[in-house]
Amino acid sequence: MSKRPRLIIELLLLFVTLILTVFLYSTVTLLRKESSPSTSWVIEDVAPELDLVMVETFSKASLVFDSPEEIPYETSEIVALAVSQPHTFAELLSILEYQVGRKLVSPDTALIFVSPRMSAVLTGQDFLITELTPHIQAIFSSSETIWNWSVTPQKWGRKKLHLTLSALIPVDGQPTPKAVMTYSREINVTVSFKVIAAQFLNRHVKWLWTILVIPAVPILRRLVLSRRKRSPGFRIPGKS
């Protein structure tokens, strides 16, 4: 191989190696930017805002909310919320573990106001969220009420889930939501190197083809012709 084609190939390989190195370094840096997920609670004290008739419809209840701290990219996990008036936090934790079929790693608990009908809504950018239970449910004085969602991350990195729990109270004869708790939790969405590499190739296959394959065609042609010329009995077509 002559020096010029070899130099071109080496430069192309060096260029691709640098691009892949920068891409992988930035991805790993993004995933390791924070060491632990963060959470934030806002629990509303609704009693001062209600008249005497409405206060009678409210009561205190225990709440347990659980979501995984880490979820693999494009993998579904169950997020669960339980509310109960007669149960303690410990009892409610056991009930929720049985419902979701796994040990709760980092559940959060709170004491909140509840009404006979409650609404729980879970949202999150870059998540596919499917309700597994009705978002409006009744609250009973003798048993627990549980909400479940299937959560599938659509992007990797640090992502937030937001939960809003609302009491439905009658206003002018219509059930009207009053937020009693808002909650945000950060989820670390992990991803494998195989997935990163596959997405990188899918997104940049056009320019990889342009800078690698197209310039390599004339170089490979020259190499083939050079080898043929050195082989015995080679004759250029059209020449005797």
**In tens digits, what is the pLDDT along the chain, a chain of 240 residues?**
555 556 556 666 666 666 666 555 555 555 554 445 566 656 555 555 555 445 557 888 999 999 888 899 889 999 999 999 999 999 999 999 988 888 887 789 999 889 999 999 999 999 999 999 999 999 999 999 999 999 999 988 889 999 999 999 888 888 889 888 889 998 999 877 666 666 666 665 666 556 555 566 666 666 666 666 665 654 555 555
The reply to whether 82 and 175 lie within a common domain is yes
The reply to whether 128 and 205 lie within a common domain is no
* Residue 89 lies in domain: 37-191
If one counts every other C-beta atom within 10 angstroms of the C-beta of residue 163, the result is: 22
Angstrom distance (rounded) from CA 240 to CA 237: 8
Residue 238 forms part of a structural domain: no
Reported as half-sphere exposure (CB side, CA atoms, 13 A), residue 186 has a value of 12
The reply to whether 206 and 162 lie within a common domain is no
Amino acid of residue 147: W
The pLDDT of residue 40 is 65
Residue 237 forms part of a structural domain: no
Contact 117, 139 (CB under 8 A): yes
The reply to whether 19 and 42 lie within a common domain is no
Amino acid of residue 180: V
- Strand 127-131 relative to strand 144-153, pairing: antiparallel
> Domain total for the chain?
2
- Strand 70-72 relative to strand 174-190, pairing: parallel
Contact 38, 81 (CB under 8 A): no
Nearest-10 crossing angle of helices 3-31, 214-230: 140
The reply to whether 127 and 200 lie within a common domain is no
Closest by CA position to 31, among listed 191, 238, 165, 214: 191
Closest by CA position to 146, among listed 96, 218, 206: 96
The reply to whether 23 and 114 lie within a common domain is no
The reply to whether 130 and 214 lie within a common domain is no
Q: What's the Cα-to-Cα distance from 232 to each of 46, 89, 216, 227, 237, rounded to whole Å?
A: 95, 88, 26, 10, 15
> Which bin fits 238, alpha (ψ -120 to 50), beta or left (φ > 0)?
left
The reply to whether 97 and 203 lie within a common domain is no
Residues 6+ apart with CB under 8 A from 211: 12, 15, 16
Residue 200 forms part of a structural domain: yes
Q: What's the Cα-to-Cα distance from 162 to each of 72, 93, 122, 219, rounded to whole Å?
A: 19, 21, 6, 56
The reply to whether 154 and 214 lie within a common domain is no
The reply to whether 186 and 128 lie within a common domain is yes
The reply to whether 49 and 18 lie within a common domain is no
Residue in the structure block whose two tokens are 């559940």: 107
The reply to whether 81 and 186 lie within a common domain is yes
48: which DSSP letter? G
Residue 151 forms part of a structural domain: yes
Sign of the Cα pseudo-torsion (98, 101, 103, 105, in order): negative
CATH of the domain at 154: 2.60.40.10
Task: Give the CA angle between residues 82, 84, 88 to the nearest 5°.
Answer: 100
Residue 99 forms part of a structural domain: yes
